[in-house]
Every structure is written in structure tokens, then in C-alpha cells.
Amino acid sequence: MPTQLGIHHGVVDRVLAQAGLPKVERTRLASIIDPYLPFIIETLHEFPRLTAARLYEMAKQRGFRGGSSQFRQRISELRPRQLPEAYLRLKTLPGEQAQVDWGHFSHIQIGNAKRPLMAFVMVLSWSRQIFLQFYLNQQMENFLRGHVGAFEAWQGLPKILLYDNLKSAVLERQGQAIRFHPTLLDLASHYRFNPRAAAPARGNEKGRVERAIRYIRDNFFAGRHYQSVEDLNRQANDWCQGVSIDRRCPENADLTVREAFFLQEQPSLLALPDTPFNTREQKQVKASKTPYVRFDLNDYSIPHQQVQKQLTVNACLKRVRIIDGETLIAEHPRSFGKGEQIENEQHINALWLAKTNAKIHRGQDRLSQVSPLAKSFYNRALNVVTPLGKSATKYWPFSLTKTCAWYSVTFL
């Protein structure tokens, strides 16, 4: 039939398979690879993951003279197939579990800085209520801020939080032995939840948050315009409280996510503590010779008396505070650009005045050391209209000694 239709027999096989008809078995012609089949089958049985390239070299050493493309095709037919793994459908109770993960959503340009746009996503496993917040990196402080924001948005938290094996959550694992990040353990102790890590390469265990991230990409982020991260987060909050929460609940098709969350899941959540967890960034910095400290790619001014000191930067997403010991010495609005100088005008003016006064005093001191008449020269110059600086520089081509000698002849 393929010859009569003028098409390849593979096309016929595909069309028959799509129609639900059995594949026609054809008589296989003799091939130069046939004498090597027992060796190939035995080798593949012992080493199922052995590559076709390696098998081809082994067959050539045993006398095979055929081409590699035909050999590879035959190996693909002979290679033992791994049975597909079956998964149990995981069920949770209201208020029992939430799943947490990061999603990467391209980059955003802020001034001279190209920052990654990262989405912190937490989804309740039963009602599928989503919390979404965008940050400019996935460092630990933003990881903590995402947790605190989700708990406050839901006015409670589940008993178990399930994580992928990201470094902010899991530092090390050997089988069932898991070493969690100590800061995450502090957060868990503060809010009294139980952190758990999904098994490696087991996407079904955290499928709810992965599907939520895919849902966010397709139904929120695609085709969306925003002016800043703050604007994007305002839109994300409106979407979570509108379109997202009004969809059907997968656990109960008779309810929307809104109904499932407010009627059944929120009453089962753990209560929040009296105070939220501290999510401010804290970093030790060294002030150089100039009155600035470097933090997150930008320079922030400090009083000039604090140069060459070890200082502490304490920052949130809005403000940067610079501390010497326990004393607050400077506070600035935070910038997420790159290479910017964020200055307090008082810091720069104080340094300029100090430098200007020092320059005048240095000149006067040098003149005073050269001649005992310098003091009288300055006192007399103060009584004339010509400024004191010009009185000295007018005769600067002479030596300092000659200037004072001129003074003694002229005024004395």
C-alpha cells in the first residue's frame, strides 16, 4: 500500500495508529547487524543506560562494518523500556499544608541595573488560595518577607510548609536526613509551623505550587504592563483577590477558591503571633576614605567623622539605615539601581566646610611659622577692604619672608 500511495510506510503506520487500528507487522529483511544482536541484547540487559555510540564502538571491535545511523536506529528498538511510574493522588486536609517555591519571570531594568524578577509563590494545598509577591532577587531576606506577607494576607498559616530543595530552605540532605537553613528554622519556631522538604526529583509532591506558577505565567503575567515592581505587586494583589480566588476549587468543584478558603480552610489555620518576624537585612560594611558606604551596588553617604570605621547597614525594601554600634548615624531611601550615590546634603556640606576651614588654617599656619610679623600682618589686613585671602595671594610670587618684609616697610 505505501508503494501504491507513493508515501512512506511510517506515515501509514502513524495514520493507522491515530485511527486506533493495529500496526501492520512487516517481514524484517536480513541485516548485517543481525549476527551482533545476541551480544547487543546481552550487553543492554547488563547495562541498560549504555549509549548507542559506545555500543557501536564495541560492535566495530567485533567486526561490524555497517554505518552508525542504522546501528543507532536498531539500538533504539532493542533498548529496554523503563516502566512508567504511577503516582498516588496526594490528599490534604484544610489548614494542613502549603507549598512554597520561586518562579523566575525574566528581568527588569532599574537605572543602570538589570535585576532578576523573581516571584515568591505560596499556595494552600486544599483550597488552592495563592499568595504572589515579586522581588528583585531570591535571597533569604526576600524569602522571609514572602512568608510574612502570605501569613498576614491569610490572617493565619498552615501547620506544614513544603519546600523544594532550594538553598534558602535545605542546606544539605542525605536520604531522609535533612539539614534545614537555620534562619528558616528560626522563622518556623516563631510561627510554630513544621518545615518539610519534598523528595528530590519528585515533582508530584509539590505539584500544586508548580501548577500555580504555570497558572500565574499564563493567566497573570502574560501580556501585562507595569511601571515598577511596586506597580506589579499591586496588580498581583488585585489578581489574587479577584480573578484567582474566584476560580473553581480543584478539591471541590461545587465551591470557588474564595468559598473554600473563607468557609473551610481559614478557620483551620494557625493563629499569628503578636509580632511579625524580623525581615530586615543586616550587613557589616567598612567605610573607606570617602564618606560613603557601599550596599547592594550603591553608595550611601555618612557623616565624615565616621570614615575608616566598621559600620552596620540595616535595611528594608524602602529605607537604608547606617548604624555605628547602637547609634543611628544616617538614614536614606533605598535605591535598586547600580552605581548611584544616595547623599544627605548635610553630610556633604559638613565635609566641604571642614575642608575649606582646614585649607585657610593651613595657609595661615605656614605663614606664621616663617615670620614673627605674620600675626600683625593678618590683624592689619582685617581692617582693609581687601579680603584676607587676597592680601596674602596678591604678593604670593614673592617668598613668604619677602611678603612679611614688604609688610614691615609699608605699614610700619
pLDDT (tens digit per residue) in 230-280: 999 999 999 999 999 999 998 888 999 999 999 999 999 999 999 999 999
The whole-angstrom distance between residue 85's C-alpha and the CA centroid of its chain comes to 34
**Which of 125, 92, 89, 269 shows the shortest CA–CA distance to 210?**
125
Quote the pLDDT of residue 395. Answer: 45
- How far apart CA 367 and CA 246 sit, in angstroms, is 83
User: pLDDT (tens digit, 9 = 90+) per residue, 142-179?
Assistant: 999 999 999 999 999 999 999 988 899 999 988 788 99
What SS3 class is residue 321?
strand
What does the pLDDT average to over 41-61?
90
- Domain ranges for the chain: 2-78, 97-268, 281-343, 365-411
3-class SS of residue 247: coil
180-237 confidence digits (pLDDT tens): 999 999 999 999 999 999 887 665 678 899 999 999 999 999 999 999 999 999 999 9
Q: Are 144 and 135 in contact (CB under 8 A)?
A: no
Gap between the Cα atoms of 367 and 120, Å rounded: 67
Q: Which residues contact 212 (CB under 8 A, 6 or more apart)?
A: 99, 121, 123, 128, 130
Q: For a pLDDT cut of 70, what percent of the chain falls above it? A: 83
User: 195-209 in b/e burial notation, b at 16+ Cβ within 10 A?
Assistant: bebbeeeeeebbbbb
Query: Does residue 124 contact residue 158 with C-beta atoms inside 8 Å?
Result: yes
- Round to whole Å and give the CA distance between 311 and 326: 10
- 252-256 and 281-286 beta bridge pairing: unpaired
The residues near 249 (Cβ < 8 Å, ≥ 6 apart) are 127, 128, 255, 256, 257, 259, 260
**Domain spanning 97-268: CATH 1.10.287.3510:** no
- State residue 155 phi and psi, 5-degree precision: 55, 40
State pTM to two decimals: 0.71
